[in-house]
Amino acid sequence: MSQKEKMLAGQLYYAEDQVLSEERKRAKEICYDYNLLRPSQEEEQQVLLKQLLGKMESPVTITAPFWCDYGYNIELGENFYSNHNLVILDGAKVRFGSNVFVGPNCGFHTAGHPLDQNERNQGLEYAYPIEVGHSVWFGAGVQVMPGVSIGDDVVIAAGSVVTKDLPSHVLAAGVPCKVIRPLKDSDRQPKD
């Protein structure tokens, strides 16, 4: 089994494998070009995102800078928006539903390292997928860890670190992130 196959299967793999290193370099080159575009170069942005990402529904807005490891493991639903400094370490799939809004300085990290120092010192790591439902809002600085699933209609407060799955229709916050309460009808009403 190749290192890439191990990575995609959620097994320990050696990330400095030549194939994986070349794929990361390709993704970083596209991200670099993307990050140098002027904000007005929207068509050019879309072309580069289509080259980079595994799946992308329109419209999509990713405010530069943006960095990822591979790109092909990222799937964005319709009406995806992220503010500055989005980082997606996509050794495994990272899927976002429609109408997802991501604040500045957020990260989605499928990659992790073994607790065992001998395995870690060999350069081994793992990657577990991240699933995000529809109509989710991530406040500034939210970090999502490997293997997490987030339901639909979820609001995650700024600065949270999401280490466990979150159900649909909740407000969640904290380090580690926990459900604060269900979202209420009154949360959906405009305030005067």
Query: Mind telling me the catalytic residues?
Result: 113
Q: How far is CA 169 from CA 77, 101, 135, 186, in A?
A: 19, 15, 10, 13
∠ CA 125-131-134 to the nearest 5 degrees?
160
Amino acid (1-letter code) at residue 108: F
126: nearest Cα among 141, 103, 110:
110
CB 136 within 8 A of CB 101: yes
Nearest to 138 by CA among 169, 110, 162: 162
